Structures are given as structure tokens and as C-alpha cells.
Chain A
Amino acid sequence: MLPEFDLLIPKTLDEALTTLAERGNEIKVVAGGTDVYVSMHGKYQSFPAIMDIKHLQELKEFSFAEGKGAVIGALTTHHTLDRSEIIRAHYPALQEGASQVGSVQIRHRGTIGGNICNAVPSADTLGPLLVLDAKAVTISQQGRREIPLKDFFAGPKRTVIRADELLEKILLPDNESRRSAYIKFTRRNAMDLALLGASASLRVDEDGLARDVRISLTTCAPTPMRALHAEQVLEGKIPSEKLLKEAGLAASREASPRTSWRCTEEYRRENLKAIVPRVIATALARAREGVGIQ
């Protein structure tokens, strides 16, 4: 049951930004509602005003150009990302992330913008976006900001987005020969939060060396994090099984998971030793064959 609130449904981006500039501090922006309404039902917590931004066409861009990369509007649903040929071919980790958010009903409603702005450390698109060198573009009456996603998160459920801003779109560079993968480790096989998440992206050069290695971890720290030491283990080297295992150990050491009633720190670190090498191996196989998800 939802408590009372004032509902705003702006028809244009301009209208939305004007309102946010005036009273952004009292407004909760909602897209799919699959985080906000769950929280409002559960805590019977309200906001003075809810702004439903689903009518804003300006946030629904979705395009890809060779050499330039992808532009994904903030209102793009997980379902769209899941089914997109472009995403599957070029950014398979993002397809793997988006396709495992919640359940099928949630994915038809939930948006990538919502996933990013809700900013829980376990969110399924965040790990993939980090390894894909994503940039967030925010917009306000004062103009746009382009923020590398790795600088977007300030803490659990906190981003650097201002009260007068909306997240407009995500930019992904053309990854050329780089390929990626995401592993979501869960207790049950659907409709679960990631107990741990690992993402990897890399390419293999003509000498068989791993290049542009990116590894990220989710539910391992207050925000999604890049595993920089693990990346260094692999960068510029032949990605042997032994090296992948070492990268896993490095990731396990540099992560900072915590013990909660949901899971212990000890188990999370152990698990990383297994899933980090596995996700690198998947990304590697894709990079070698130049394929995404069939």
C-alpha cells in the first residue's frame, strides 16, 4: 500500500528540468518504479512529490554507430537491453546484467537509469557498465555533465547526481575487439539479488596478450568497484589459467565485502577466487572468437 504523495507527470524534458530546478529537493524521480515503489510499499515511506518521467522521449534514445559506440537513454528498459542484438554482440556483459535484473516482469518496467540512480552495490548493470568504460550524461537547466561511471557513485544508494538533474543517457565507447562477460552469483536461480557479481572486459592482441583489461566487482564494497590489482595481474600478459587464478586471488584481496546477516565476508572472498577467473575466461573466449551472445 502506498502512502499519499503529489504526482507530477511532466510531458517534456524542459518541464521536468524546470520543476527540478525549483523544488528538486522534495521530489523523488521515478521511472519503472521497481525500486521506488517497492521501498515505499515496504517502509510506508513517502516523499512530498513523485515525478514520473516515463513520458520524456528525450531519455529514450537508443543507438549504435561503428567507431562511436552506443548511446543508451536512461529510460531504456532491461528487457530492451536483454533483447538487443547490438548489446548482445558488442556489450555482452551488459546483456548478461540486464537479463538477470529481478524477474521478467521487473525487466519490462525497470530501466537502466533507475538501476544506476538507485545505486545499490549489488545492481546487475553496474558491474558490466564499469568494465565497458561507460559514461553517464546528466542534464539540468544548467546544461550537461559527462561523468565516467566509475566516478558516479558516492556510497551505497548515493550518486553524484544533483537534485536539479536527471540522468539523460549512458555512453559506451565502441569496444572494437574487446569483449565482456558478467557472472551473477545468487542463492536461488532467479529473482535474486547478487550475493556477488563479477564482470570482465578485455581484448587479445596479435601476440595473444591480454589488453585493456577491466575487472569489476559488485556487492563487494559500498559501491561497485574496479578490481585494479586484478587487472594489473593480466594486463599485457598471456592469460593462462594460472594467471586467471592469480587475478582471482588479487580480486579477492582487494575487495572489501562485509559480513552481514545475508552473508559473511569470508565466504564472499572465497567465492571471488572462483567467479573472477570464470568471468575472465568467458570474456576471453568471446574476445578470441570475436563473438558476443548468440
Chain B
Amino acid sequence: MTYKKSDQDQTSASTKVKTTTDLESKLKQLAASVPLSSIGTEDVYVDQAGKVGVMGNYQTVGHPEERKDAREKVTGEAVFGPDVEFPNMLYAAVYHSPYAHARILSYDLEDAKAVEGVVCVLTGKDVPGRFGAFIADQSTLAVDKVRYNGEPVVAIAAETAHAAKEAVQKVKVEYEELEAVTDPYEAMQPGAPLVHDNWSGYAHAADFTGRDGTNLCDYFPLRHGDVEKGFEEADIVVENTYRTAGVNHSTIELHVATAKFDIAKNRLTIWSPTQSPFMIRKQLAGLLGLKQSEVRIVCTYIGGGFGGKYEIKIEPIVAALAMHCQGRAVRLVYNRHEDYLAGCVRGGTVIKIKSACNRDGKMVAQKIENYFDTGAYSTTGPRINYNAGLAAISPYKIPNVWIDGYTVATNRQITSAYRGFGMPEYTFAFENQMDLLADKLGMDPYVFRMKNIYHTGDVSATGEILPEVGLEKCFKAAAQMIGWEKGDWRRHVTEDGKWRAKGMAGGIKLTGTPSSSSVVVRFNDDATVQVSQSGMELGQGAFTVIPQFVAERLGIPYENVSVVPVDTMYTPYEKTTTGSRVTFHVGNAAVRAAEDVIDQLCDLCAIGWEADRESIRFDKGVIFGPMGKKLVVKDIGKTSLMKEQDPILGRGTYSTSDIWDKPDPDTHASKKPTVQWFWAAQACEVEVDPKTGKIRILDYAAAQDVGRAINTMNCVQQVEGAVVMGMSHCMLEELLDDEQGHLLNGNMVDFKVATSQDTDFDIKVALIENPVSDNLYGARGIGEPPVVPPAAAISNAVSRACGGRILSIPLKCEKVLDAVKKGPYRKEAE
């Protein structure tokens, strides 16, 4: 594959920019320290300090085209969930459970109902039915029991937001408090309080693998080889228990939905920043006894998703209120505290892992038990267990791998999809193990990893022959950019007594399979194109890359093509916007739709030119016919070829159920568990203050296999943002409960996310070109993969600097100081 080199110097450059003269000197500095040629310049594109270049040899694909949504976002015109308003609209508010686990004994709603302006008050019995993606265990409002601090119990609609809030203050509910369980490992022990009494009493979407009478709602086993034999025979064995804290998405846009029930048409309309309009449509229809065509989901721009707006959340509450409010629109916006309580989270994990290698540096065996906290309701938990379980085979070729994933219910906030979908947690564990093994071998951790990474054509631990594995290039690029070969990855002390080291980690993740996408392309007679699809824009650039696919295939300018707003009444089915799937899947469907358009354009030319259809061919935006006849597609408006003919309507679908090899339920062996793997490698340099435990990141390198970037700017944006998000999880974020399961830090002072002052370090980005064969332009997903390695890379560096392994994140200064004081270098810190 060739790629167009940019005009600037071929240097590896950071994205941190000062003034123009600073830029130039920075480029020179970096050119001196990290020559690209040793990575393999033909396949590697590197971000050029602020100016993003081109990958590939296409007209629009591979270019950093301006985002389609950026202008309206920068002017404030873009419509987000809370911006939806209607005349005569009602405002909703929710009364949430103050307890983590309690039986509801009685309600006293008289004072709440008496507040002036209150129109409707609902409790659990007013909204019967349960929902859940895998286990239908959740009700719209609590029935009989509350299972987490924050569970919605009473919903109120009123003339003003203030009246609704006043009414919530006046709700009185009597509870009998029950013992709460807040740790997933503890929740698996005999005698632990039961969050749900009877799992099999609920409806299930798939085979239930949990256990009644326990908090286990889903179990994932992966078996490859014989780990026990492996451990017996291996030269070096390391065993540890790692923990990751629960964290909240903290999207700046809160959870919000507006609902309106049209009585005459029996149609419910919901305006919501949802990543999964069709999933929600189906669930709401089932829950409310409506047909799918009677439920309309209109998607507003998503002000931050990361998976937190993937599943049904407050839509059922507003829908229920709207159906009681005589056709008036009802809007519910959670405030920040409510979002922490009743939004969703990435649940904490307890990961027991045993890893073994031989003295020659080859991995022999790895056994992992992961206790995932899915919170009070199962929701996406089983899916996380499954997707992450498959990818927990790690990026390393290990002949004996056993994985046991346990999705465990606790009385904590509900776990939902969150960028990385279980892989940042697993990766933290197994990448720390890799460093520990390397240290015992006395081997460079980079060399150790390179001895074990998967390559194209290797057979994975599920029995799949792995295609297009970009790991080697990713690791080489990351190592180069961080200057690993200098040897200063080893712990060293600065003149002013600070401790430094470098760390690295690989990244592996898959995209959920099977799934399906559909696209309809309307071709106007001025060669502008409207693409109807339901991949949602949550900042990752979906609304930009899909037009790029279509424009490229049709050979018309990018400016001519845009997507229409996503609305289940008009746009065709899309499974969901998660799993880093939109670019690849919707891209494939879009290309097919574009090819359908090309076919129809050729038909029109045959008619217009009175030529044989077989004599018509299309190439790069031009249609050729016999006798020198030619049509430049973008100029079709100057001809009468479309006049009074069949309108051009292109249709394309793409699904992966035919290529998917359903894994064996007991071993999860599969020759094709996913249509697409993601590969990454990252490295960083850190400095630890051994007297306070404060960590400073000095430098960061992220190499991401993008297949081929459809939009290079989008790709760089995703990598940078994901690195910072991963860093924030690793160093700052942690949801804290008291012993009774009450959330202690549900606000933005006490739940800390990274600010601009926490990202004052270079993030060098390399986008590795490694085209995927199943996509016309070779695109691989990118939304999540770069968030998989940061916690592992940073913690590896920090633990190395301290001389002691820290087994949990976040890496709070107390833990770092503790590692220093218990480590071999403690005397130096005195």
C-alpha cells in the first residue's frame, strides 16, 4: 500500500503545540530522537504536530476532512437532549431510593401530589413490566424492593421543573433496610445478601448461565489447553489479585429524554441522545404494549456517550409519564448528582490471575478469574463478560489459557457499556503480569512482549487463524516514539530526587459479532446525496466518515454528501453505535448502497444513451459508454439523464451472522468469534515523587492499528481523547460507597476527572496502516481500542519507578507512597 506523504518533514511529532517557532524546533528535536525509517515508513503514518496529513491514495477517504457536525457545535446551534422544548411541555423529576437495598413498605404521596403544578405522579405499579438486554430484571420504577442507592422509585410530571422538584422533596416512602453487598467477589461468597431472589423467574434473551440463589447472573468460561499442567511445567509463575474501581462516564451532557404520546395516532415519540435508537424502540414497544411502528425515537446529538447512552435508561420513565399526560410533551433531565446515582457506570472488578512463562521468554499458561460488578441489574453485564472474555486471551500467544468471567450483581450503580467494554480492566491485570514475568526473567519488557505477540496467521486461543494482526508494528512504533531503546525505561532517579521509569502495554479488543447495518442513499439530480442511516454521532465522527465512504465510492465531492438526522421513523435499522463498529459496518453497508446507486446510474446512462447496458462501465466518478460517451457523475445535473426516470435510491445492508462461528458454550472455542479485532500498543514515561506519591506523566506514545483511516483527524482525535480518558481512570477516578452501599462521591468535586492541567504532556500518535480485507477502504474501528492500554502502561511505569507493584487502580498517591515505603528503594525516599 502506498500513502501520500505530507509536505512536511517525515518526523514523529507530538500533538502538543506551542507557538509556530516552538513547533518547528519541536519537530527538529523529535526528528533527531525518533527516526521513522526504522518503524517501516511505508506502513506508518504519524501525526504531524497539529497538522494531520493523509493516509492512502484516495480523494476523500484518508483525508482529515472537516467534520460535518463541527460548525453547528462551535456556534451552539447543535440540538442536544436538554435543548428539546415544546409549548405546553411538562417537566419531570424523579424520587430516587436513598437506600442501596431495602424493601418498600408503603408510599405517602399526598403532599407531593398537592404541590401546585403537579400533573402526574407514578410509582412502580403504574408501569408494569420488566426490561433488560439479556435478563429482563429491571422495572421502570422500583417494585417491592430497591436494589441500589439511586434507583428510581417515584416519577413526577409538573408544569415547571421547580414544581416537579418541590414535589419530589415531599415524597415519603417507608422502607425496611436490608443488608447490602457492594463488592463483586464478596457477593459471590456463600451467605452474601441476594440482590435478586430468582434469576430464572425473569425472561431471558439467551441461555442463562448464572445461578439461581446467588448473585451470579452470567458466567463465561474459556478453555484452551491445560493450564494446570502448564503451571507445573513452567519455569516462572506469578500470581496476583488486581482490582479496578468503578467509574462513571461523567459525560458533560447529562441523561435526558423527552416524550410525547400522540393519542390519535397511538404513537409515542421520544427525543433522546441515544446510541441505540432501534434497541430502545423495541424495548419500549414491548414494555408499553405498542407496535414498533408506534414508537418513534428521534436522536438528538449526543453530548458525550462512551457507552453511557447506549442502553435504555430514563426513556421508559418519560414515556410512562407522557402516556398519562394527555398528549403533552414531558422532559426529564437528571442533574449531575442523579446522573452519578442513577445513570450508569463501569463496574469495579476483582481479577485473580496466574501467569507462567519459561526461561526462554515464551509464555506457557495464564488463568484468569474476573469478578465483574454489574451493579443492581444485569443490563449489559453478560455482554461485557462475553466480549471481554473472548479478548482476554490477550495479545500474546499463550498455549494454555483458561478464563472464568463472572458477572455478579451487587447493590451498586448499574454497569453499562463503557468504552473498552471490560478490556481496560483485563488489560491492567495481564499487562502488569507481563512486566512481572519479564522482571523475573531479567528481560527487557519490550523484548519479552515481542517474543510472545500474535502475528498474522497465528492460531488464537479460541482456535481462530488471526487475520491482519497489526501488533508488531504497533509495538515497534510505540517503543520508538517513547525512546524505549535508550534504556531509560529502567527505574532511575533524577537530580532532585524524583523517580522515573517507562512502561508499556498492548491492546486487544474485538467488535461484537454478529450485528447488522443498513443504509439508504438518495441521489438528487444535482448530484448531492442524502445518506439515511442510524449510526449515531457521539463525537467520534460517524456523521463525517459515512459521507466519506459514499463520496469516495461514487467519485463525487465530500461536500455533496451528508447523513440525515437519525430517526427511527425515517432512517433504516442499525443495531447500535457501540463496540467501535460504525465505521466498519455502516461503512460496508454504505458502500453497497453507493454501488447500488452506481448500478442505477449506469442503467440511466444506458437508457439515455440508448446503449447496451453491458457496454456501460463506471470508474472513479465517471461513467463510460460506447462511442466515447461519458458522464462525470457530479455533473449529472447538467444533463437530462434523470428526468422522468425511476428515481435513484440506493440500498445497502451488511451483517456478520454468516461469517460468525458461534463459540462453544463450555470452551468458547470459535474459528471466527468476531468480524474484526483491534490492535494497539502504548508506552509512557512517568515521574513519581517518592515523598508524596504524586505521579507526573512526562511523555506518552500511542500506536493504533486503524486498518486504513477514513478520516485521519478523527482517528487522532479518538486516540488522544481515549489516552486521556484512560489516564483519568488510572490515576483519578473512583466511585466510593460506604458500607451500606450509599454513594459518597456523586458530584464533580469528589469524583475527579482529568482537567486541562492534568494533560500537560505530549501524546505522540502513530496511526498504523494495516488494511482490513472486509472493508473496501480497509477501515478498522477506533472509538474504543485506544482506551484499552493506558491504565496498564501507566501503572507498569509507576510500579517500576516505585520498585513495588501496585495492584489496583486508581493509582492514588496513598497507594504509590505505600509502594515506595514497602519497596526496595524506601531508604532513598527518606
Q: Tell me if chain B binds chain A.
A: yes
Q: Per-residue CB proximity of A246-277 to B under 8 Å, as 1/0?
A: 00000000000000011110010011011100
Contact of B758 among A188, A262, A263, A275 (CB under 8 A): A188
Residues in B with CB closer than 8 Å to A242 are: none
The answer to whether A274 touches B165 (Cβ under 8 A) is no
A187, B169: Cβ atoms closer than 8 Å: no
- CB contacts (< 8 Å) of A275 on chain B: these are 692
Q: Decide if B814 touches A263 in the complex (CB within 8 Å).
A: yes
Q: Are B732 and A187 in contact (CB under 8 A)?
A: yes
CA distance A271 to B812 in the complex (A): 13
Chain B count of residues within 8 A CB distance of the other chain: 30
Whether the Cβ atoms of A185 and B692 lie closer than 8 Å is yes
Distance from B625 Cβ to chain A, minimum over Cβ atoms (Å) = 64
Interface status of A65 (Cβ within 8 A of chain B)? no
Contact at A187–B813, with CB atoms within 8 Å? Answer: yes
Asked whether, in the complex, the Cβ of B337 is within 8 Å of the Cβ of A42, the reply is: yes
Q: Which residue of B lies closest to A2 (CB)?
A: B162
Q: Which of B694, B750, B755, B814 has the most CB of A within 10 A?
A: B814
Judge if B644 is at the interface, Cβ distance under 8 Å. Answer: no
Interface residues of B in 744-800 (CB under 8 A from A): 744-745, 747, 749-750, 752, 754-758, 760
Output the least CB separation between A44 and chain B (Å): 6
Chain B residue with the shortest CB-CB distance to A270: B817
Which of A192, A264, A274 has a CB less than 8 Å from the CB of B752? A192
Query: Considering the chains assembled together, what is the distance between the CA atoms of A189 and B744 in angstroms?
Result: 22
Whose C-beta in chain A lies nearest to the C-beta of B755? A190
A154 at the interface (CB under 8 A from B): no
Other-chain residue from B162, B738, B814 in contact with A264 (beta carbon distance below 8 A): B814
CB-CB under 8 A from B757, the residues of chain A are 188-190
Known: A264-B814, A273-B691. A187 touches B755 (CB 8 A): no
Chain B interface mostly helix, strand, loop or mixed?
loop
The interface residues of chain A lying within 8 Å CB-to-CB of B750 are 262
Residue of chain A at shortest CB distance from B745? A261
Is A191 at the interface (CB under 8 A from chain B)? yes
Chain B residues contacting A4 (CB-CB under 8 Å) are 162
Contact of A188 among B165, B335, B732, B817 (CB under 8 A): B732
> Across the interface, do B691 and A274 meet the contact criterion of CB distance under 8 Å?
yes
**Are B161 and A188 in contact (CB-based, < 8 A)?**
no
Q: Give complex CA distance A275, B337 in Å.
A: 33
A191 to B755, CA, bound (A): 8
B736: CB under 8 A from chain A?
A: yes
Minimum distance in angstroms from B387 CB to a CB of chain A: 31
Whether A1 and B165, one on each chain, are in contact in the complex, defined by CB atoms closer than 8 angstroms, is yes
Known A42-B337, A275-B692; contact A193-B749, beta-carbon cutoff 8 A = yes
User: Does A188 lie within 8 Å of B754, measured CB to CB?
Assistant: yes
Chain A: minimal CB distance from B161 (Å): 7
**Interchain CB contact under 8 A, B692 and A271:** yes
Cβ-closest chain B residue relative to A192: B752
A261 contact from B689, B691, B744, Cβ within 8 A: B744
Contact of A187 among B165, B689, B744, B812 (CB under 8 A): B812
**Complex Cα distance A31/B736, Å?**
33
A273 CA / B165 CA spacing, docked (Å): 47
CB interface residues, A 36-93, toward B, < 8 Å: 42, 44
Interfacial residues of chain A within 171-227, with CB under 8 A of chain B in the complex: 185, 187-193
- Mark each residue of chain B from 796 to 829: 1 if its CB lies under 8 Å from any CB of chain A, else 0: 0000000000000000111001000000000000
Contact with A along B439-461 (1 / 0, CB 8 A): 00000000000000000000000
21 A-B residue pairs with Cβ-Cβ distance under 8 Å, sorted by A, are A1-B161, A1-B165, A1-B335, A185-B692, A187-B812, A188-B732, A188-B752, A188-B754, A188-B757, A189-B758, A190-B757, A190-B758, A191-B755, A192-B749, A261-B736, A262-B750, A267-B693, A267-B813, A267-B817, A271-B692, A274-B692
Binding site for B on A (CB under 8 A): 1, 4, 42, 44, 185, 187-193, 261-264, 267, 270-271, 273-275
